[in-house]
Amino acid sequence: MGKTRNIMAIDQIFMTHRERFVRFADSYVHHIEAAEDIVSESFLHCWEQRNNLIEVNDIAMYMLVIVKNRCLDYLRRERVRDSITEDMLSDREWELTMRITSLEACEPETLLRNEVQKLIDKALKQMPEKTRNIFVMNRYEWKSYQDIAQETGLSIKSIEYHISKALKVLRHELKDYMPTFLFALHFLNS
């Protein structure tokens, strides 16, 4: 059952996240063909290791870590290649060092969480003001339905309706990020 889940998850991740992973890799390696190769090799590695991924809870996150590590390998090889060249420009070395340092400090979990938070903020801005305010009072200010009802003069049923409406909008906007969204909601509530 776990193996089948991982095969389906890898296929789904390839379909939905490939372009985003390529953009991520390209933002560091600055070579689109190399970025595409890195992502393809990462997916191939995941596919070859699919039977060993039973205990991996978030395959997309696992995949992003593989892409990150392969980008680091690529940049390190580039740095060595550049250092061998007589005409190496010190600016290129500095830029590669900065990109390597930046990528080493990069936490895929934080990247995805920030991306999801931006989508949540965007979805909140699209909601009717009353729905957004009620959702914010409940999820960000930790107010109970009863407290919100007293503060707004609405019934508890109305509060439940607005929270349900907000969650429906968020589910729709974040359908591709549902595992990360659930993590973000847990993070907001803890």
Tens digits of residue pLDDT in 16-66: 889 999 999 999 999 999 999 999 999 998 888 877 777 777 878 888 999
CB contact at 8 A, 102 and 170: no
Task: Report d(CA 97, CA 103) in Å as an integer.
Answer: 10
Task: Report d(CA 134, CA 120) in Å as an integer.
Answer: 15
Place of tokens 């010190």: 90
Contacting residues for 183 by C-beta, under 8 A, at least 6 apart? 113, 116
pLDDT at 1: 41
Within 13 Å and on the Cβ side, how many CA atoms surround 48?
Answer: 6
Task: Report the Cα–Cα distance between both ends of the chain, in Å, rounded.
Answer: 32
CB contact at 8 A, 112 and 67: no
Per DSSP, helices labelled H in 30-58 are 32-48
Task: Report d(CA 7, CA 52) in Å as an integer.
Answer: 11
Strands (E), the chain: none
Task: Report d(CA 47, CA 39) in Å as an integer.
Answer: 12
Quote the pTM value.
0.51
Task: Report d(CA 160, CA 141) in Å as an integer.
Answer: 16
CB contact at 8 A, 158 and 166: no
Write out residues in the chain with pLDDT < 70, as ranges: 1-7, 85-90, 177-190
